[in-house]
Amino acid sequence: MKYMLTAGLCAALFLLAGCTGGPRTSITPTGELEARILRNYDKMETERYQPQNVFLDSSTDQGWPGDTEGRTILALVRDAQSSGRAPKFLDEMIRLIPERLNAKGYIGPIYEGKKNEQQLSGHGWFLRGLCEYYKWKKDPAVLDLIKGITYQLFMVNPEDYAAYPIDPKDRTQDVGEAIGSNDKTIGNWILSTDVGCIFIATDGLIEANELLHDPAIDKVINDVIGKFLVFDPVGIRAQAHATLTGCRALLRYCFAKDNPAYLHRVEEIWTLYKQYCMTENYENYNWFCRYNSHSEPCAIVDSYMVAYQLWQLTGNAAYLDDAELIYYNGICHTQHDHGGFGLDNNPGRALRTAELTVNRDEVYWCCTMRGAEGFWSVLNSSYDIRDGRIYVPFYYGSTLTFGEDAYLTQEASYPFGDEVVFTLHAAKPQALALRIPAWAELQEISLNGEKADYKVENGFAMPDKALQPEGRLTLKFGLTVRTEPAINSQNTRAGQFRVCYGPFVLGLDPAAAMPAEDNAGSDMESEATDALTTTDRFTVKPGPVVEVEGKNIVLRPLYHLMDPAVKTGPDYRRQILF
């Protein structure tokens, strides 16, 4: 595997830095993505996330000092950047930080001679939030805060990082709840039930050193990366969020150090993640191979970001298919009507169910904040400028501004309909490259109403002619219903399958769609769950609503736009395994 061309690497760096192609490039969302961003932003400015409440102490931080503060700052920065709306409380929050720090310049207890994995992980988010705020506002006082946390917390006894325990026999398995907790002490390490959360800390440390440029910090980073390159996430039952954040950290370092080994390792772990940790609707089990566990939107967001960045570095369009499936079925399903994010129960043998249900309406302490960077990532992955073309990996309503009075608008009925329309407002023509999803047939590209010729390279259609100023380009896709095998063979029965339409996983509401006498529940061993077969014929109606011909069964996407009916309780359940 080779890296993409230098232009692609630059585009990836722009994504990580918070822009998408240069100092005058920006993306403005419209439609459903804008609605999601704004609802999340409104949630992030409610009382819980205001300055008087966001700074926690040992009685309220649940063992994660710095975590809530860091995630909140990062979320407000990302929501502000995505929406263009100034945050109400963020500057005051930044102003209050110095008086909330301990004598060493960070949050929480001072452990003499010990390292608390959860404290470091929480401060990984604290560093990330402060770094993104600094890059946005250029406040020198914030850079001083970054230096203090880095040197007074992370760089004390740096030799400890090479001794971080990664042997599965040293770690407690199958423990931990929705909030991780301190588990055991090995050597100088106070370890967490969120196994591997040191890798979350590494992501923040790598971003901090992009500002500090200290070889001593590089040494620590390389010690932790050395552990990540050889640890076994399946054998150790690593937490999904920690592992995927470690992948993002490795990709961040890959961009900085141009080391192909890092890319190969992320691809290896991505393969393991899909095999042992991805659910039937592209969410996640909270730990590798722990199939009775809930999903976690923090990890779902991470998985989207990893998949997109892998495409940027490899050019393999299959990673874009992964990302789109994660967005519509995972991220969109777990954002609830209040704008925050909740947890789902995962169908499969471990829970003896073929149905997806809601485990918790909101995870206010981490996932609601993490969703903000998720939407920022979705928005900023909508376009990628390289090789003299504007690449369009995904189709969302938006406007790309890429110069003085130069912008491209996108109106998309896809994937609910079959069209995407681009209009160019610029002085010069622009060449486009338009992704063809694996589940879609590209029926036609037209320029100003006339059919256009194109070639296909690496999953993208490239029209022979550039889009002219004030011109319109229209894509028309064909989408069909298909059956797909179950993702996880360990947690499903042989022969089970899913029904999909475009990027949507379809679900059946058993109570509404099946006669009461035939609805025997969702026990994995019950034949009542097998009302569908792979040979059934389907009729698609607007919505999309999918009817099964000759059967009293109606399927609808798990996707929803913050539907208040999607919540914890017996009234919401969707069968997705058949």
Enumerate residues 6+ apart whose C-beta is below 8 A from 268: none
CA distances from 103 to 99, 106, 271, 413, 431 (A): 10, 8, 44, 55, 56
Chain-centroid distance, C-alpha 10: 21
**Distance between CA atoms of residues 258 and 284, nearest Å:** 30
Summarize pLDDT for 211-234 with one digit per residue, the tens: 999 999 999 999 999 999 999 999
**286: which DSSP letter?**
S
The pLDDT assigned to 170 comes to 80
Where is average pLDDT lowest: 153-167, 381-395, 502-516? 502-516
The pLDDT assigned to 24 comes to 65
Q: In what order do the strands lie in the sheet with 431-435?
A: 384-386, 389-392, 431-435, 460-463, 454-457
* 405 or 508, greater pLDDT: 508
pLDDT band at residue 513 under the 50/70/90 scheme = low
Pick the closest to residue 42 from 340, 415, 305, 394 (CA basis): 340
What average pLDDT does the segment 132-137 reach?
98
Domain-ending residue, one of 440, 461, 479: 479
Q: Is the CA virtual torsion 148, 150, 151, 153 positive or negative?
A: positive
Check pLDDT > 80 for residue 23.
Answer: no
Residue pair 298/416 in contact (Cβ under 8 Å)? The answer is no
Check pLDDT > 90 for residue 181.
Answer: no
Residue pair 572/357 in contact (Cβ under 8 Å)? The answer is yes
**Distance between CA atoms of residues 285 and 287, nearest Å:** 5
DSSP string, 513-533: HS-GGG-----TT-GGGG---
In a domain, 154, yes or no: yes
CA distances from 116 to 3, 97, 165, 574 (A): 36, 21, 13, 40
In a domain, 280, yes or no: no
What average pLDDT does the segment 266-279 reach?
98
Pick the closest to residue 161 from 71, 223, 251 (CA basis): 223
Check pLDDT > 50 for residue 14.
Answer: no
Check pLDDT > 60 for residue 502.
Answer: yes
The pLDDT assigned to 403 comes to 85
Q: Phi, psi (5° rounding) for residue 515? A: -55, 140
Pairing of strands 389-392, 431-435: parallel
Summarize pLDDT for 282-318 with one digit per residue, the tens: 999 999 999 999 999 999 999 999 999 999 999 999 9
**Distance between CA atoms of residues 404 and 87, nearest Å:** 26
The pLDDT assigned to 184 comes to 87
In a domain, 63, yes or no: yes
Half-sphere exposure of 207 (CA within 13 A, CB side): 30
Residue pair 89/50 in contact (Cβ under 8 Å)? The answer is yes
**Distance between CA atoms of residues 296 and 197, nearest Å:** 14
Where is average pLDDT lowest: 110-119, 261-270, 514-523? 514-523
The pLDDT assigned to 178 comes to 63
Domain-ending residue, one of 454, 479, 504: 479
Check pLDDT > 60 for residue 321.
Answer: yes
Among the ranges 16-30, 157-171, 447-461, which has the highest mean pLDDT value?
447-461
pLDDT band at residue 177 under the 50/70/90 scheme = low
Structural domain harbouring 454: 386-479
In a domain, 94, yes or no: yes
Which tokens sit at 382? 């909508």
Summarize pLDDT for 338-392 with one digit per residue, the tens: 999 999 999 999 999 999 999 999 999 999 999 999 999 999 999 999 889 999 9
In a domain, 192, yes or no: yes
* 483 or 170, greater pLDDT: 483
Residue pair 178/166 in contact (Cβ under 8 Å)? The answer is no
In a domain, 237, yes or no: no
Percentage of the chain beyond pLDDT 90 is 85
**Distance between CA atoms of residues 115 and 154, nearest Å:** 9
Check pLDDT > 90 for residue 432.
Answer: yes
**Distance between CA atoms of residues 244 and 378, nearest Å:** 17
Percentage of the chain beyond pLDDT 70 is 92
The pLDDT assigned to 361 comes to 97
What average pLDDT does the segment 451-468 reach?
97
Where is average pLDDT lowest: 176-185, 256-265, 368-377? 176-185
In a domain, 420, yes or no: yes
Where is average pLDDT lowest: 324-328, 391-395, 518-522, 557-561? 518-522
pLDDT band at residue 168 under the 50/70/90 scheme = confident
**Bridge partners, residue 556, by sequence:** 507
Check pLDDT > 90 for residue 179.
Answer: no
Return the CATH number at 433: 2.60.40.1180
Residue pair 508/489 in contact (Cβ under 8 Å)? The answer is no
pLDDT band at residue 255 under the 50/70/90 scheme = confident
In a domain, 175, yes or no: no
In the numeric block, the tokens 């190969």 are attached to 264
Residue pair 577/498 in contact (Cβ under 8 Å)? The answer is yes
**Distance between CA atoms of residues 391 and 540, nearest Å:** 30
The pLDDT assigned to 173 comes to 73
The pLDDT assigned to 256 comes to 76
pLDDT band at residue 169 under the 50/70/90 scheme = confident
**Distance between CA atoms of residues 280 and 347, nearest Å:** 7
In single-letter form, the type of residue at position 351 comes to L
Overall domain count for the chain: 2
Check pLDDT > 80 for residue 525.
Answer: no
Task: Write down the H helix ranges in 367-509.
Answer: 367-380
Check pLDDT > 50 for residue 460.
Answer: yes
The pLDDT assigned to 171 comes to 78
Q: Phi, psi (5° rounding) for residue 376? A: -60, -40
Residue pair 298/286 in contact (Cβ under 8 Å)? The answer is no
**Distance between CA atoms of residues 574 and 449, nearest Å:** 41
pLDDT band at residue 512 under the 50/70/90 scheme = low
**Distance between CA atoms of residues 162 and 469, nearest Å:** 57
